[in-house]
Amino acid sequence: MTASRNVLSLGVVLAMLLVVTGCASDPLALKIVGAPEALNHGKLNASIDAQPISELPGGGMLYATDRAPVVASESGFYGGGRSQALRVGLAKLEVGDSDLTWEKAREISILKNKAAHYPLRVTGVEEFGALDPSAPLTEDTTSNEAGVARARFAKAINDRLDQSPQKDVFIYVHGYKVVFENPVLVSSELWHFLGYEGAFIAFSWPSTPRSTAYFGDIDATAGMARNLRELIEFVETSTNAERIHILGYSAGTRMVARAMEQIALINRGRETDPKRLGHKLENVMLVSSDIDRDVFAAYLADGILGSQRHLVIYGSQRDSALQVSSAVTGHKRLGSMMTSSELTPAFRRLLIDNRDRISYINVSNAEDIALDNGHGYFRSSPWVSGDILMKLAYRLPPEERGLVRDPATGILSFPPDYLQRMAAIQSVAFAAQCSNHSATRPKAPGCDAKPLPSSSKN
């Protein structure tokens, strides 16, 4: 009887997992969501943009993928199969309304009732080739072909950096159960809200659009982390990037954290070497993280904090997807916000003594945090998306982004007067930065909307 009851309980939990842990309801299209709160205040990329959505700078969205290309009988561009080769290229986009501009889309997304939605779609890809011919079991990739791919991808990144005063590369790593197109579409939205600063790369790892693929996708996040590490090294050594930022979401945070651990282990004994692997890594963000807390503790012991200048973890007590993941695995997840009683003395000291290296942000009370299953808040909550974008765009410490810190735990959160705090902070900061120009540093175009970062604060 006990065994039968256990089997039944597991079946119920698995059924719940299939219902609530999906990362995308429609993997082939992306609906424009509520604008970040920073944008609502007219501060982030508020200049007029009359370009159609499909006309991204540089002709499309850069991507890197270790998915296998689809075969003739399949639709799309890359499937859920794994590839040892890391392929790179340029993805083309279109919108359901061909006349829709980003300006109009922004107006729609700012509306509180969000009545109108326009799906974005990927219409084609231009693959440059595979970056690394040395990986075992690579599919017929030669050194010459890899050299051409590396040169074309580096040029595409540098062309974007040449057009931007901010020499930053941003990499987005998606969650489970999505197709190739999903991270491309999310990246295009994030890059737009960043004002097309720097260069944005969608990293599309081999997840599959099936709810039953959860455990297989988890395997992929661990095994394919090497390719993310290779991409970081390529951007660091082969382009003009000055800083690299990584935004990992849901199951994708497993891959990001694993890659950071690998970097930490590679760098042992050369932590002060200015040319060590990852020396350009600025912000690494783990959002709705589906990492086992004990596994993350092991990563900390391996020196993961030394892999980037600042590690940012967003957690929520209202993320039902992670609650189910905890029930299925039997282990609490990093993105399920720890209560005060769950904080170990060592982790409290880490958050308090290393505030310049790590931020643990409680988003449980942020606006629209519990929409759907409370798991996709980095796009659905204008407070969280605004905080992420301000961190990426200006590299401001949390108190200068309107957050407050609990002195007893070191945990950050959104206060009740967050909107007023942020509006006041931004008004002062933007005025100061726009007045800071000279003959050698002219005022940036649209400075009243989005000035240049004037510091490298974490």
Q: Tens-of-pLDDT digits for all 458 residues of the chain? A: 444 444 434 443 334 333 344 454 444 555 555 556 665 544 455 444 666 776 778 889 999 999 989 876 677 799 888 888 899 999 998 876 666 776 676 665 554 444 456 567 888 999 999 987 655 555 555 667 778 999 999 999 999 999 999 999 999 999 888 889 989 988 988 898 888 899 999 999 888 877 677 777 777 777 788 999 999 999 999 999 999 999 999 989 999 999 999 999 999 999 889 899 999 999 999 999 999 999 999 999 999 999 999 999 999 999 999 999 899 889 999 999 998 889 999 999 999 999 999 999 999 999 889 887 899 898 888 899 889 988 998 888 999 889 999 999 999 999 999 988 877 776 665 566 566 544 444 444 345 444 433 334 44
Residue 239: its pLDDT value, please? 98
Quick check: 137 and 167 in contact, CB under 8 A?
A: no
What pLDDT sits at residue 430?
58
State the pLDDT at residue 411: 96
Sole residue written with tokens 């954290």: 257
Supply the pLDDT for residue 15. 40
Q: What is the value of pTM for the model shown?
A: 0.85
In the chain, what are the domain boundaries?
20-435
Q: What integer pLDDT is reported at residue 298 of this predicted model?
A: 96
Closest CA to 306 of 244, 236, 358, 237: 358
Residues 6+ apart with CB under 8 A from 227: 64, 66, 86, 205
Q: What is the pLDDT of residue 318?
A: 94
